[in-house]
Structure formats: structure tokens, C-alpha cells
């Protein structure tokens, strides 16, 4: 009775190990590409701690590469970490560069686009983008 159980256990452990190792190898070589667009306008000052928490949650994702934009322009292109570079809110909110972001190489390559803002108005963001509206 013990021998069939041990055989089953060995096959099960080997199968799960192979599946887990294969998944890890695939995801390591094919990471998700997450484009983050951060609103860095003056109105974001009140929501800045929430914005940093939202960025930290994105930054902790496994098997991912990140590109970071603000509504004003690019901060960094694809890299394995989300580099915040001492960002602070400045200047008025300006969504006029959304077309530049939408038409960027990073937007075309992204598997997910996340926008972090406290703007409650319709910003004209494309469908399919994950808009995280802060308080």
C-alpha cells in the first residue's frame, strides 16, 4: 500500500515542479509590460500619498517590466523596476499629451496601461486603460 502512494507522490511532486519551473522560465523571459501614466499636476498634491501607494502596488508585481510617463512626458522606458525618481506634483493638469502617449511605442507594446489620477472629469482616456481615480 505504501509503494503505490510513494510512486504517486513522486510523480505528483515532479509534475508540479516541472510545471512551476516551466511557468517561471516562460514568465521570466516574457514579462508583462505595464505602462504607468501618473498625473503630476498641482491638484494631485492632496492625493500624493495615495498615488505613491498605488505606484508601490504596481511596482511589486512579479514578472513585469515598467515604463513610466506623466501627463507631461516620459520619465523612463521599459525597465525591470518602476523608478520614481523623486517625482513631485507641479504645474497645472494638462491631458493634451495623451495622444502622444497613446501613439507611443510603449503604449503599443504594453500588455496593461494604468493611469493614476484624482481628476474626476472625462479626460478622454482611451478605452481599455485602467484608470485608478484617487480621492
pLDDT, tens digit (0-9, with 9 covering 90-100), for 72-123: 889 999 999 998 878 889 999 988 888 899 999 999 999 999 999 999 887 6
> Of 98 and 65, which is predicted with more confidence?
65
Alpha carbons 115 and 128: distance in angstroms, whole number: 11
Q: Pick the closest to residue 33 from 66, 80, 9 (CA basis).
A: 66
Q: Which residues have CB under 8 Å from 48's CB, separation 6+?
A: 88, 89
In tens, the pLDDT along 12-55 reads: 999 999 998 888 888 788 899 999 999 999 999 999 999 999 99
Provide the sign of the torsion angle of the four alpha carbons 100, 121, 88, 57, taken in this order: negative
The model's pTM = 0.86
Yes or no: say if 134 and 59 are a contact pair by the CB < 8 Å rule: no
Classify strands 112-117 and 64-70 as parallel, antiparallel or unpaired.
Answer: unpaired
Amino acid at each position: 500500500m505504501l509503494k503505490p502512494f510513494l510512486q504517486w507522490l513522486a510523480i505528483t511532486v515532479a509534475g508540479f515542479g516541472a510545471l512551476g519551473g516551466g511557468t517561471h522560465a516562460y514568465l521570466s523571459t516574457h514579462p508583462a509590460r505595464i505602462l504607468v501614466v501618473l498625473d503630476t499636476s498641482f491638484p494631485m498634491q492632496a492625493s500624493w500619498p495615495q498615488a505613491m501607494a498605488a505606484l508601490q502596488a504596481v511596482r511589486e508585481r512579479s514578472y513585469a517590466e515598467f515604463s513610466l510617463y506623466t501627463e507631461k512626458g516620459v520619465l523612463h522606458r521599459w525597465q525591470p523596476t518602476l523608478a520614481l525618481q523623486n517625482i513631485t506634483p507641479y504645474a497645472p493638469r494638462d491631458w493634451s499629451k495623451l495622444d502622444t502617449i497613446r501613439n507611443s511605442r510603449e503604449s503599443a507594446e504594453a500588455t496593461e496601461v494604468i493611469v493614476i489620477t484624482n481628476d474626476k472629469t472625462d479626460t478622454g482616456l482611451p478605452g481599455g486603460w485602467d484608470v485608478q481615480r484617487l480621492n
